[in-house]
Structure 1
């Protein structure tokens, strides 16, 4: 469905019982992401949760109305919460979507019941680690001019974004499958304006570490052992700052344990949510 959220038409899909606790999941990859990933990841929870997934403004099939800032994307999540008619939500996000989930938590703490994070960071320092990891790998030859344009938000157009993504996608998996990677590239929707905004305007200002010790809701932090771009250390930082949070490292995953170790990932998330947001007792 299309919903007008804060003056912007968003592509939104809703699953699960209308009276279930609401989970809103933000996709990763500002400019290269869409609701397809969180739909696959959190859709199975629709047996108990009202799962809301959407293309962020400027991404996927949603309208492109700037700004594509963390503040605006978090405000759009809260407007979706209001549209759903609930006071509190489980907020979830992976990769860049984890940035927005954390931004939502620190900006709208009274409206969060639990947090699910996957392969993300509390600030932009992971990019320094990612560059070092890219230099030290031998899976693919890095075209450094293209690599630097990608990570500084100097992409020319949507086709350029797709081509640059195709060059670095081999770095993301635990075990590289060229055919599967290219299939993901072809299935993507590319929006270079939002991508460029992320790295030209958002990146240097992003740092929620000072606010994380005040987070008072159950939090699950997950990460793949061989994640090159948001390494385990980034998740350890988050888990170390949020009181009582749970950290789970998936030993046979890169950046996407929700796919690479799907059954175990589903088990971990469901078990966490059963503890954090228990189902009402039946009479």
Structure 2
């Protein structure tokens, strides 16, 4: 065991103010800085401790997960979210970063790299489809109907029967209720209860309604890729039934200067958690090969 492996991992937490929003962050580990977009409460729970011995993981809220002092008609645009990400980067004294986004946050990571290329060395997108358009969602539904086993479908039916009551109980947390109840579509082990991963996570539903319901529905990720030189790693789970399946990426591959696609065989929507050893090895190997 190396000296580094024996050292306790340090954690630095704090907040950065952006208007009325308090963006939380948690800096964990040592090595190349990787800015993980999303919730500074949820995302530390789904990346391995071992990865923190090779990378400095900076988990940062966007304003969809950040407490607010109250603001009438707050700005939930993608451009504002990207500016907040850059604010976090700047306040933490980071110059070049690896930008990482999981699920819908993969779009944020890619669009940040396009908007602020001088600060991005690598882009990592995990469990992200090309868009949430009707066409891509139709391919997803066909994949679910044709490939999902009866046990998965039965579990989903049972969980969907209780989704309405869960949302009615805490409507302000309906995004979380939806994520938990969609477990049969989002975990390799379709019986896995993701509820504890969401404990203590704050959500601002207007951002999710707008971003996931409109922005990611209409997004054209090919736009601006001709000017993006940073290498991109796309990690997908073979059993992911939340986003459009991997073949839908084929039309977009030629637009990337340097795209690596890795499909994880025993994962669904969160390969960094479901196959952490394999994921860590693949990500670190890719980063090393793209120095």
TM-score over 0.5 for the pair: yes
**What is the CA distance between 1:11 and its match in structure 2?**
0.9
**What is the CA distance between 1:244 and its match in structure 2?**
2.4
Normalising by structure 2, report the TM-score: 0.76
**What is the CA distance between 1:82 and its match in structure 2?**
1.2
Across the aligned residues of Structure 1 and Structure 2, the Cα RMSD in angstroms comes to 3.2
Asked if structure 2 preserves the Cα contact closer than 8 Å seen for 1:121 and 1:234, the reply is yes
Mapped pair 1:50 → 2:56:
yes
Matches within 5 A, 1:175-186: 175-178=189-192, 180-184=193-197
Asked if structure 2 preserves the Cα contact closer than 8 Å seen for 1:55 and 1:62, the reply is no
| Residue of structure 2 aligned with 1:25, choices 20, 24, 36 | 36
Structure 2 counterpart of 1:15: 28
- In structure 2, the residue corresponding to 1:272 is in which secondary structure? helix
* Structure 1: stretches of 5+ with no match in the other structure: 28-32, 151-155, 278-283
| Residue of structure 2 aligned with 1:251, choices 240, 265, 268 | 265
Asked if structure 1 preserves the Cα contact closer than 8 Å seen for 2:98 and 2:124, the reply is yes
- In structure 2, the residue corresponding to 1:209 is in which secondary structure? coil
**Residues 46 and 263 of structure 1: is their aligned pair in 2 closer, same or farther, counting only changes over 3 Å?**
closer
Structure 2 counterpart of 1:30: none
Normalising by structure 1, report the TM-score: 0.78
Matches within 5 A, 1:110-129: 110-125=118-133, 126-129=136-139
* Structure 2: stretches of 5+ with no match in the other structure: 1-13
> 1:64 & 1:243 partners in 2: Cα distance?
42
Mapped pair 1:262 → 2:276:
yes
Aligned length: 262
**What is the CA distance between 1:182 and its match in structure 2?**
4.3
Asked if structure 2 preserves the Cα contact closer than 8 Å seen for 1:42 and 1:51, the reply is no
Q: Which moved more, 1:130-139 or 1:198-207?
A: 130-139
Mapped pair 1:191 → 2:197:
no
**Residues 158 and 135 of structure 1: is their aligned pair in 2 closer, same or farther, counting only changes over 3 Å?**
farther
> 1:204 & 1:13 partners in 2: Cα distance?
30
